[in-house]
């Protein structure tokens, strides 16, 4: 039996086979209303970000990192609330017309839910014959390689509900291996209000049960903020429901620092706890562009020399990119999953599982 824990990290590339856009494709699918100035305001924020970071200003939003813009826009919105004075993002250099950061952020949240939520594909999205990827073979490989007393830790920065859909679509019986069934633990109670309960991660598995801790670091299109007397709590709706107000979609946009509020405080601590134990993490479709998450991994790789990352990508990372820089800093701890031909093997391609089993054995987790 292996002694190392196994973790799985799903980036946007893991959901791309289901037809969902990558973070740099998001704005190509946004339905901007023609008369609100939202597109121009988004472009203006992007131009200000690039100017601050010493890069040339983009002429349009195609290929722009939406997560970076979301995070900066959220900070502008918080500043607006702190000052208790309306701010305006200019939409034209020749007029005084502008858009409120809060108004723009609310619009983009609605678009996040529309694009990544569990809805039939809209006219702006490509047709998707099968939405949820089949995670069964992948989880089966991890189940066989990891100690049964350890929960499988699956982390993601994605907003979509593909993993939840996969688990809910399966008959929860012996579909892993060796007579074990899987139980998804999300941090939310399974009945009643389905409110976030951090203690659910401490529960022990029952006989014949493999726990899968599913940790959504950036929130979900199915999380809502429920207001009650004396406060409010985050609840899991169990599916897609359209947002009706500014607080209805609970997301934690990237490019920020340590979260201080639940559920994100607990979820990010789950990431840190996992990274500081001896183990191997399989990273699918994530490029480490988010500075906070990248710095978290950088610290963990320095502090925990037993940590190994196996990155599953369609192509080798380019020079001077966040992932390439991490690989050069930790050449013994980070590798790209490669097949017999030494070429990268992405999730779902022919030869993926053969290459993954070989890489796990080499890392000491097989």
Q: Which two tokens stand for residue 44?
A: 């203006």
Place of tokens 């710095």: 295
As a whole number of angstroms, the distance between CA 356 and CA 142 comes to 10
Domain membership of residue 290 (yes or no) is yes
Distance of CA 245 to the CA centre of its chain: 23
Q: Which of 156, 210, 212, 209 is nearest to 184 (CA)?
A: 212
Q: What is the pTM of this model?
A: 0.89
Strand 223-228 relative to strand 231-236: parallel, antiparallel, unpaired? antiparallel
What is 123-139 written as a DSSP string? TTS---S--S---HHHH
Within a domain: 190: yes
Q: Is residue 121 part of a domain?
A: no
Handedness of CA 151, 154, 159, 165 (dihedral sign): negative
In a domain, 122, yes or no: no
Judgement on whether residues 70 and 82 belong to the same structural domain of the protein: yes
Q: Are residues 104 and 172 in the same domain?
A: no
Partner residues linked to 281 by β-bridges: 7, 309
Residue 124 lies in a domain: no
Contacts of 340 (CB under 8 A, 6+ apart): 351, 355
Q: Identify the domain boundary among 116, 144, 161.
A: 116
Q: What region does 17 belong to: left with phi over 0, alpha with psi -120 to 50, or beta?
A: alpha
Same domain for 254 and 163?
yes
3-state secondary structure of 228: strand
Residues 15 and 54 in one domain: no
Q: Which of 71, 73, 55, 61 is nearest to 30 (CA)?
A: 61
Is residue 123 a part of any domain in this protein? Answer: no
* pLDDT tens digits for range 4-14: 789 999 999 99
pLDDT in tens, 224-267: 887 776 677 888 887 655 445 544 678 888 877 788 889 999 99
Please tell me whether residue 37 adopts helix, strand or coil conformation. Answer: coil
Looking at the structure of the chain, the number of domains it has is 2
Q: Assess whether 99 and 221 both reside in one domain.
A: no
Phi, psi of 268 (to 5 degrees): -70, -30
CA distances to 166, 170, 233, 249 from 263, rounded to whole Å, are 23, 27, 9, 13
- Asked if residue 306 is part of any domain, the answer here is yes
Q: Are residues 144 and 75 in the same domain?
A: no
Q: Can you give the residue range of the structural domain that contains 94?
A: 23-116
Give the residue ranges of the chain where pLDDT is below 50. 1-2, 120-130, 171-174, 242-243, 246-247
Q: Which helix (H) or strand (E) covers residue 10, if one does?
A: strand 5-10
Residues 9 and 297: beta-carbon distance below 8 Å: no
Q: What is the CATH number of the domain that holds 266?
A: 3.40.50
For residue 9, the SS3 value is: strand
Among 116, 143, 171, give the residue marking a domain's end: 116
What local confidence, expressed as pLDDT, does residue 88 receive?
87
Q: What is d(CA 292, CA 23) in angstroms, rounded to the nearest whole number? A: 17
Instruction: Indicate if 89 and 165 belong to the same structural domain.
Output: no
Q: State how far the Cα of 3 lies from the Cα of 11, in Å rounded to an integer.
A: 26
* Same domain? 133 vs 85: no
Q: Are 30 and 144 contained in the same domain?
A: no
Query: What integer pLDDT is reported at residue 139 of this predicted model?
Result: 85
Q: Is residue 231 part of a domain?
A: yes
Which residue, among 96, 92, 89, has the nearest Cα to 69 in the 3D structure? Answer: 89
Residue 106 shares a structural domain with residue 249: no
Q: Do residues 261 and 178 share a domain? A: yes
**Shared domain check, 342 and 193:** yes
Of 82, 116, 150, which residue sits at a domain end?
116
Which stretches of 173-315 are DSSP H helices? 264-275, 291-303
């Amino acid at each position: 039996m292996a002694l190392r824990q196994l973790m799985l990290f799903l980036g946007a590339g893991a959901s791309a086979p289901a037809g969902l856009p990558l973070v740099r494709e998001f704005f190509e699918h946004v339905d901007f209303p023609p008369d609100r100035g939202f597109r121009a305001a988004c472009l203006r924020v992007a131009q200000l970000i690039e100017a601050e970071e010493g890069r040339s200003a983009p002429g349009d939003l195609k290929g722009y990192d939406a997560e970076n813009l979301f995070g900066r826009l959220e900070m502008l919105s918080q500043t607006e609330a702190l000052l208790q004075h309306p701010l305006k993002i200019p939409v034209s250099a020749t007029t005084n017309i502008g858009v409120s950061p809060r108004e723009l952020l609310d619009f983009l949240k609605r678009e996040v839910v529309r694009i990544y939520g569990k809805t039939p594909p809209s006219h702006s999205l490509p047709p998707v014959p099968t939405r949820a990827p089949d995670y069964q073979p992948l989880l089966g490989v991890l189940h066989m390689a990891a100690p049964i007393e350890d929960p499988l830790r699956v982390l993601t920065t994605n907003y979509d509900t593909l993993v939840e859909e996969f688990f809910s679509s399966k008959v929860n019986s012996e579909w892993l291996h060796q007579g074990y069934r899987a139980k998804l633990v999300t941090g939310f109670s399974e009945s009643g209000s389905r409110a976030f309960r951090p203690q659910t991660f401490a529960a022990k598995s029952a006989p014949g049960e493999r726990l899968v801790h599913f940790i959504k670091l950036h929130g979900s299109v199915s999380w809502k903020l429920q207001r009650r007397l004396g406060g409010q709590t985050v609840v899991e709706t169990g599916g897609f429901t359209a947002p009706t107000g500014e607080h209805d979609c609970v997301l934690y946009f990237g490019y920020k620092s340590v979260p201080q509020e639940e559920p994100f405080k607990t979820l990010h601590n789950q990431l840190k706890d996992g990274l500081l134990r001896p183990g191997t993490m399989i990273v699918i479709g994530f490029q480490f562009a988010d500075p906070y998450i990248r710095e978290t991994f950088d610290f963990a790789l320095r502090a925990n020399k037993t940590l190994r990352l196996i990155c599953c990508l369609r192509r080798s990372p380019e020079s001077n990119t966040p992932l390439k820089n991490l690989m050069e800093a930790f050449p013994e701890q980070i590798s790209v999953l490669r097949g017999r031909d030494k070429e990268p093997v992405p999730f779902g391609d022919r030869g993926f599982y053969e290459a993954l089993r070989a890489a796990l054995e080499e890392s000491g987790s097989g």
